[in-house]
Amino acid sequence: MEYQNPRIAPYAKAATKLLQGPVFEDQEELWSETNKYRAELTQYFENIAIELVIDNRDGYAYLRQIPLDDLGTTIGLIRRIPLTYELTLVCVLLREWLMEFELNDTETTNLYITPKEFRDRLEMFFKEKANELKFIKELNRHLESCEKMGFLKLVHKEQTNPDEYRYEVKRIIKARITNEELTRFKIQLEDEFKSF
């Protein structure tokens, strides 16, 4: 996009959006601008110790801080939000579900889930019904948190029944939880949920 003021970079809108969070390919104008000015954006962000990550295969772009030293110190521009135990469980289960979907479903492009389907997958983690009921009561809040982080996108809101809300699982979750982390988290969660 060209602006009237020649001092404004043509990639200003994409840069600003990336600083606010991920950009996805279904945000067509921003996605196009991010790819068109990839080299300029990369250079711009590297000047302030930030790496631009674009995954064209899975259709997302985001910013990652570049460590300034061996201790992993960063400039602190991008806040990394630590996940609670329960939110970690939700993310791990979403990531595992996405991995199964990509391995087994060759005809459908995107994975869509409902809160009810998610609850059905949770049952194996709970021995005590009381713990399961407590977690289920908070599940919608956790799904909303995943939506804010860009891991889920609400595509259909059923007015009378929140159990039938329909979410798309965004592939950017693979950048937050890698295959190695998924395996490690699953072992840890299985051990810890025996006493949850």
Q: What is the per-residue pLDDT across 132-182, written as a single tens digit (0 to 9) for each? A: 667 777 788 888 889 988 899 999 887 787 778 899 999 999 988 888 877
SS3 130: helix
Query: Which neighbouring-strand residues pair with 60?
Result: 24, 55
* Residue 27: pLDDT band with limits 50, 70, 90: very high
* Residue 2: pLDDT band with limits 50, 70, 90: low
* Residue 7: pLDDT band with limits 50, 70, 90: confident
Q: What angle do CA 175, 57, 149 make, to 5 degrees?
A: 35
CB environment 65-88: b (16+ within 10 A), e (fewer): beeeeeeeebeeeeeeeebeebbb
Helix, strand, coil content of the chain in percent (nearest 5):
50, 15, 35
Query: In this prediction, what percent of the chain has a pLDDT beyond 70?
Result: 87
Query: In this prediction, what percent of the chain has a pLDDT beyond 90?
Result: 38
Higher-confidence residue: 94 or 85? 94
- Which of 15-19, 29-33, 42-46, 92-96 has the least mean pLDDT? 92-96
The CA distances from residue 51 to 27, 148, 170, in Å, are 21, 22, 21
Average pLDDT value over all residues in the chain: 84
Maximum Cα interatomic distance, the chain, rounded to a whole number of Å: 64
Q: Would the pLDDT of 194 be above 80?
A: no
- How far, in Å, CA of 122 to CA of 31, rounded? 35
